[in-house]
Structure formats: C-alpha cells, structure tokens
C-alpha cells in the first residue's frame, strides 16, 4: 500500500519536472538571452549571417566597421563587450577629423562571428550587401576618478573612450550617448587625427577580401535578375 503511494508521488513529481523543462525550452531559456533581438529579427534558414552565439575573442577585444548597403547606405560600428558586439549604425560613416561629429544610432547586439561576415543578405531584415570595411583590436581607455572601469560600465554611463588599432582607423575615438539610443562618434585629437583624410570615400575596399560594396551590389543585382 505504502509503496503504491510512493510510486504515485514519484510519477507526479516527474510530470511536474517534465512540464517545467518543456516550458523553459519554449521560453528560450537555453538560448543566449543577450542576442534575443538579433535572433528574432532573422530567419537563419534564409540568411547567411552568423547564428546568435555569445562568445569572446581569444586575444584582445575587437572592433569592426562594416559598410552595409541595405535600404540606405550606412556603416555599422561594432565593439566587442562581454561576449557580444555592441552595435551602432552610422549613416555617414566614421571621420578622422576631430571637428566632425557623426550620428551613431544604437542597433541590436550582434554575435562576435559577425565581425568576419561579408557578402549578400538575400531577403528579409537588412537585405543588401555587406563588406568588412575595417577591423582590429581596441584598447579600453575608460576611467572614473582616475581608476580604470570596464567597457560595460562605460557603456552604461553613456560615454566610451577607446583606442582603435584598425587598418584604416587608428587612435582615440569617443562615443557619447545624447538621447535614448542616439550616440555621437568623434575622433579625439591625437597623432592619427587628420582633417584631410576621408577614408569612407577614398578607401572603399574590404580589409578582408578587397571587395567593394559596388562590386557586391552588381552581383546582388544579377542574382535578383536571374531569379525573375
Ligand atoms: Mn546595418
């Protein structure tokens, strides 16, 4: 008699555990919560973009700037912070002139693997062409009361100071939040500041493949024509 009650209790406990497990799976608790927005916006059966995986680079933290010709041409500036790429869309791209402020609208966090992504996003969210316009490591220059603080702390404060070690962009840059998700990207005065340079216009090749957006646009156009 007592044995059958014990069996019954065990069965009920198992049912509850199984239900909780399934509910948890449905909620997506097993997925990286950090990249939920990135994941929701994309259909990974359609897009060749990297899967939403949270991970850090092996060496120094990295940055990437991608030229992205979607419905509008823009540059996506991304900084590795705690296993994801914090991201901003910069309509006019970065400047090397300290007198120029560039609007940088924060977008959803991207996975680290995105830093190597270039090519064609066929349809859906962000459809268009992408090249890796610049990439490299960066140094965290942020401090508070003379003591170093983390990139995440600087991000939360809305003021980020970094030193870029890119192929096209080098030296100190500042990102400052002024309203909601709107920030400004400014070149700081240092030996790399140069008002005469305009790399966004004159250095158009991918630093990974030497491809240009123009070249990819032609390929994309051909692809669309062939499908019709
Ligand atoms: Mn973009």
3-state secondary structure of 88: strand
User: Counting Cβ atoms within 10 Å, is residue 82 exposed (0-12), middle (13-18) or buried (19+)?
Assistant: middle
When computed from its CA atoms, the radius of gyration of the chain, rounded to whole angstroms, is 23
Question: 1 pLDDT band (50/70/90 cuts)?
Answer: low
Please, what is the Cα angle at 88 between 75 and 71, to 5 degrees? 50
pLDDT over 70 at 14, yes or no = no
15-19, 69-73, 105-109, 191-195, range with the lowest pLDDT: 15-19
Distance 157 CA to ligand 1 centre (A): 24
pTM of the predicted model, to two decimals? 0.85
How many angstroms separate the alpha carbon of residue 125 from the centre of ligand 1? 10
CA of 37 to the centre of ligand 1 (A): 14
pLDDT at 7: 83
Distances (CA, A) of 82 to 34, 79, 89, 141, 158: 10, 10, 20, 16, 16
* Rounded distance from Cα 9 to ligand 1 centre (Å): 55
Q: By the 8 A CB rule, do 159 and 194 touch?
A: no
Predicted pLDDT of residue 25: 57
| Separation CA 182–CA 105 (nearest Å) | 5
Question: Residues whose CB is under 5 A from ligand 1 (ion)?
Answer: 68, 76
pLDDT tens-digit readout, 140-182: 999 999 999 999 999 999 999 999 999 999 999 999 999 999 9
């Amino acid at each position: 008699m007592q044995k059958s009650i014990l069996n019954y209790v065990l069965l009920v406990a198992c049912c509850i555990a199984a239900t909780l497990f399934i509910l948890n799976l449905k909620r997506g608790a097993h997925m990286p919560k950090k990249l939920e927005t990135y994941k929701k916006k994309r259909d990974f059966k359609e897009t060749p973009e990297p899967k939403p995986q949270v991970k850090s680079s092996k060496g120094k933290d990295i940055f990437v700037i991608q030229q992205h010709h979607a419905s509008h041409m823009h540059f996506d500036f991304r900084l590795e912070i705690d296993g994801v790429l914090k991201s901003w869309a910069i309509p006019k791209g970065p400047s090397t002139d300290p007198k120029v402020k560039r609007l940088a609208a924060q977008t959803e966090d991207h996975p680290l693997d995105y830093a190597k992504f270039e090519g064609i996003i066929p349809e859906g969210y962000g459809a268009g062409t992408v090249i890796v316009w610049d990439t490299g490591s960066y140094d965290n220059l942020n401090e508070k009361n003379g003591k170093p603080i983390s990139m995440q702390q600087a991000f939360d404060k809305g003021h980020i100071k970094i030193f870029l070690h890119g192929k096209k962009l080098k030296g100190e840059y500042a990102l400052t939040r002024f309203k909601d998700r709107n920030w400004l990207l400014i070149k700081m005065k240092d030996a790399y500041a140069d008002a005469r340079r305009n790399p966004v216009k004159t250095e158009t090749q991918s630093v990974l493949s030497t491809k240009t957006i123009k070249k990819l646009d032609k390929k994309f156009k051909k692809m669309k024509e062939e499908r019709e």
